[in-house]
Structure 1
């Protein structure tokens, strides 16, 4: 009796990712910042797990710092994603239709993202100012909360500038 033929190996023909766009400010800044923040987040969390395991105590400050670091890594990742055009979108809608339609949708999308992050920067700057004026402190460590909050408008401005650059490149490209 003969053996049945082996099933063919699955083919995973994944296209290589497109090259990063040419930008004035290197994308390595966001990449390395994300790596460093994730490493710090992992170390802080690991230290807290070890302390809890061996002593039934926990560092009160780790949760506060972890939340702050997760916000930073999210904003830094968003900044990188918008430049590389890897942000969340409905690809069937954004990549379908004629080239002119795709370009119009991309311009609209970039404009809405730009407006959103400018608004987020302004509103979060007002929040930071209120926290500074009213001298709010964090519950676990007791440091001023604006030390954490100042990064939201700063990184919102960074995303807005990256989006503005993407929009400028999109409008300068020939259809």
Structure 2
């Protein structure tokens, strides 16, 4: 039996948490960046392609050939552009457990170190995908588009992630120690 009170989940109305997700905060353009809108457009294109695939296969009885491949590539693009959004917001997956038990100066140092490691990774992956795109000369199977287009898009997403991480590091270094 555990006698600690904080290990017991809070009892209450689950609808309170559900309704909190639908708060009426006003829409502000400055909360979003270009990659958010591009990702939204690509996501809607993905929805339309998957719907066309579903409709043609199950309603018309004859599947459109190019929809499966294009849906796969659009999903890849949404994933990588979404990672650029996460880099801007600082919401990439990380283990926050240790931050709670460290002194603030140590947590800040670790945050900066992880930002630098992430930046190095994004730059390295941008270089690798750029090299891969330059060496890829094949076309997509169902559409006469070069596969390098996909790799250049992933490279662009890695460059965006690196730039957004650099931006976050700049803000972190510029912020005085007492602000944390």
Gaps of 5+ in 2: 1-10, 22-29
Shift of 1:89: 0.4
- Name the counterpart of 2:151: 149
TM-score normalized by structure 2?
Answer: 0.78
Point out the structure with the larger helix share: 2
Give distance in 1, aligned partners of 2:12 and 2:160: 48
Q: Which 10-residue stretch deviates more, 70-79 or 89-98?
A: 89-98
C-alpha contact 2:138 2:147 (8 A) present in aligned 1: yes
170 and 162 in structure 1: CA distance in 2 versus 1, 3 angstrom threshold = same
When residues 95 and 68 of structure 1 are mapped into structure 2, their CA distance, relative to the original with a 3 A threshold, is farther
Give the superposition deviation at 1:145.
1.1
Q: Which residue of 2 aligns with 1:164?
A: 166
Superposed, 1:17-166 pairs within 5 Å as 27-131=32-136, 135-166=137-168
Pairs aligned (count)? 159
TM-score (norm 1): 0.80
Cα distance, 1:9 vs structure 2: 3.9
CA distance in 1, matches of 2:169, 2:12: 45
C-alpha RMSD over aligned residues: 2.6
